[in-house]
Structure 1
Amino acid sequence: MAESQNTLAVEVRTEFGKGAARRVRRADKIPGVLYGHGGEPRHLTLPGHETMLLIRQSNAVVELAFEGESHLALVKDVQRDPIRRLIEHVDFIAVRQGEQVEVDVPVHVTGEPFPGTVALQETTSVLVSAEATHIPESLDVSVEGLEEGAVIHATDLTLPSGVKLIDDESNIIIVSITVPRGEVDDDAEAEAGEATEGGE
Structure 2
Amino acid sequence: MAEVVLKAEERKEKAKKVRQQGFIPGVLYGSGEEAASVKFEAAALTKILAKHGSNAKLWVELNNKKKFGFIKEVQKHPVAGNVIHIDVQMVAQDQEIKLQIPISYTGTEELDKRRLLLLITKPEVEVVGKASLMPNVVVVDVANKEAGDTITYLDLNLDGTIKINDPEDEIYAVIKEKKEQVADIEEEAKETEEAAETSPEE
Taking structure 2 as the reference length, what is the TM-score of the superposition?
A: 0.74
* Residue of structure 2 in register with 1:35 after alignment: 29
* Residue of structure 2 in register with 1:125 after alignment: 124
Percent identity of the aligned residues? 27
Letter in 2 for 1:160: D
| Aligned partner (choices 56, 59, 64) of residue 63 of structure 1 | 59
| Residue 92 of structure 1 pairs with residue 91 of structure 2 | no
Tell me how far 1:183 sits from its aligned partner: 8.3
* Residue of structure 2 in register with 1:178 after alignment: 176
- Which structure 2 residue ranges, 5 or more long, are not aligned? 185-202
SS at match of 2:16: helix
| Residue 45 of structure 1 pairs with residue 39 of structure 2 | yes
Pairwise mapping of residues 70-149 of structure 1 onto structure 2 (< 5 A)? 70-111=66-107, 112=110, 115=114, 117-149=116-148
Tell me how far 1:163 sits from its aligned partner: 1.7
SS at match of 1:31: strand
Give aligned pairs, total.
178
Q: Distance in 1 between matches of 2:33 and 2:164?
A: 29
Q: Distance in 1 between matches of 2:100 and 2:24?
A: 24
Tell me how far 1:63 sits from its aligned partner: 1.8
Tell me how far 1:134 sits from its aligned partner: 2.7
Letter in 1 for 2:29: Y
Q: RMSD of the alignment, in Å? A: 2.6
* Change over 3 Å in CA distance of 1:31–1:148 after alignment to 2: closer
Contact 1:55-1:75 at 8 Å conserved across structures:
no
Letter in 2 for 1:82: P
* Change over 3 Å in CA distance of 1:72–1:183 after alignment to 2: closer
* Residue of structure 2 in register with 1:188 after alignment: none
Taking structure 1 as the reference length, what is the TM-score of the superposition?
A: 0.75
